[in-house]
Amino acid sequence: MTDTLTPLLTSRWGNPDSWTLQAYLKAGGYEALKKALSQDAADVLNNVKDSGLRGRGGAGFPTGTKWSFLPPPDGGPRYLVVNADESEPGTCKDIPLMMADPHQLIEGAIITSYAIGCHHAFIYLRGEVVHVYRRLLGAVAEAKKAGYLGKDILGSGFDLELTVHAGAGAYICGEETALLDSLEGRRGQPRLKPPFPAVAGLYARPTVVNNVESIASVPWITLNGQEWWKSMGTEKSTGVAIYSLSGHVQQPGQYEAPLGITMRQLIDLAGGIRAGHELKFWMPGGSSTAMFTQEQLDVPLDYDSVVAAGSMLGTRALQVFDDSVCVVRAVSRWMDFYAHESCGKCTPCREGTFWLRSVLRRIEAGRGKPEDMQILEDIPKSIVGKAFCPLGDGAPSSLVSSLKYFRAEYEDHIENGRCPFDPKAAYLFKEVAA
């Protein structure tokens, strides 16, 4: 089954000193940039547009289309902002990418900036990952010294500054308008739309906000052409993507494969489920997507098939939970995260996650009440479709889907006044037991 792996973005991660400019150049780096700079910006843009590349940050919006939403140049600045605020539980692709191959992202950012007419791009990085921050700063300095950034890049006449900005640690800043407010030095909370960032984004100027992996895909598409990219993946979900497997598999890690691969294939690639256990449930795209069970193992993991199956491809953060895991406990932990990270702007997300957290903790602790089941049914409905931004809408996804598949487990907690699982049985590492 190993032939399903298609390492592109991850292909250089194992090279010695892979993060250095030298290693990147040795592996063919910045060739795509040279090619792009020799073309018209419009051609570079159209190539990406025609490739069908869809946003890798979760929503799956076509990247080239997003670029083409920018109004015609008016002489004023326009910005590219790379969303590197990766902070959802389970999602762990951008941070290793930036750690192992930062120049790939920088090259993508330069090509994208050239395509959209941007002369100052930003990478908004999650603040907690100081090691990645240092690495990006180092890589940008290297690239600048080598003439890939700054004035008149490679003699093309194109200028670009690239600023790496570290956030202060807020999940909400992964929402693009909250990210822009935070980048401007304000409190990171989502903005009212319209205006959309393409019209009035950073400093109220036309702005493209793209995920790290989307931008890192751009050099590949530029170098090899949109036809090549479209030859991989499915018709509507073209190309390859990083699948991050974590949890109860033998070999957790990053598996880069064409879109449309199935979870069954991926689990095989990862050496199967933890010995002696069976798959209980899995998250297809991070904690904000509805969970799947064994039933969906053969769903093609492309944007549309996963939606059709009742969830979202999200960030392809595939978290695998075997039969040792208490679903109430898992959902309770996720709700802790959402209650902690809710930005507080809108009532449904702020109060709803706070309430659900309290109820879930009580149920898990054996203090559930029969009427809690109704609350677990109702409050998600009070959040979804009522919250200000998509992060609120995604907060109860794990709860809602878990009730669909494992309602009896909740009722069991409430009826018997205790959790039937031994939490230690789910531990991956012995030393954690405490």
Chain contacts with other proteins (rule: CB under 8 A): 170, 172, 187, 189, 192, 339-348, 350-355, 358-359, 362, 369, 371, 374-375, 378-379, 381-382, 385-388
Question: Residue 117 or residue 348: which is nearer to other proteins going by CB?
Answer: 348
Cβ closest to other proteins, residue 371 vs residue 431: 371
Q: Specify which residues 397 forms β-bridges with.
A: none
- Closest distance of CB 10 from other proteins, Å: 34
- Give the whole-angstrom CA distance, residue 284 versus residue 303: 11
CB of 375 to other proteins, least distance (A): 6
Do 85 and 124 touch, CB atoms closer than 8 A? yes
Structure tokens at 209: 């906000």
Q: How far apart are CB 361 and other proteins at their closest, in Å?
A: 9
3-state secondary structure of 15: coil
Please identify, using beta-carbon distances, which residue of 50 and 351 lies nearer to other proteins. Answer: 351
CB-count exposure of residue 232 (10 Å: 0-12, 13-18, 19+): middle
CB 214 within 8 A of CB 66: no
Q: Closer CB to other proteins, residue 76 or residue 194? A: 194
Q: What angle (nearest 5°) sits at the alpha carbon of residue 264, between those of residues 259 and 270?
A: 90
How far is the CA of 178 from the CAs of 192, 243, 315, 375, in angstroms?
A: 10, 26, 19, 30
Nearer to other proteins, 173 or 215 (CB): 173
Rounded CA-CA distance 403/291 in Å is 10
Q: Least Å distance between CB 352 and other proteins?
A: 6
What is the nearest approach in angstroms of other proteins to the Cβ of residue 201? Answer: 18
Number of H helices, E strands in the chain: 18, 8
Q: Give the shortest CB-283-to-other proteins separation in angstroms.
A: 22
Least Cβ distance, residue 351 to other proteins (angstroms): 4
CB of 115 to other proteins, least distance (A): 31
Contact 235/300 with Cβ under 8 angstroms? no
Scanning 314-396, the segments in alpha helix (DSSP H) are 327-341, 347-364, 372-383, 390-394
Q: How far is the CB of 185 from other proteins (least distance, A)?
A: 12
Q: Which is nearer to other proteins, 68 or 347 (CB)?
A: 347
Query: Whose Cβ is closer to other proteins: residue 333's or residue 386's?
Result: 386
For other proteins, the closer of residues 236 and 386 by Cβ is 386
Between residues 140 and 170, which has the closer beta carbon with respect to other proteins? Answer: 170
Q: Which residue has the tokens 């009532």?
A: 347
Contact between 94 and 213 (Cβ < 8 Å): yes
Minimum CB separation of residue 360 from other proteins in Å reads 11
Residues 6 or more apart whose Cβ sits within 8 Å of residue 313: 60, 237, 284, 285, 289, 301, 302, 303, 306, 307
Nearest to residue 366, comparing CAs of 397, 324, 332, 325? Answer: 332
- Closer residue to other proteins in complex, CB, 36/379: 379
Phi, psi of 121 (to 5 degrees): -110, 160
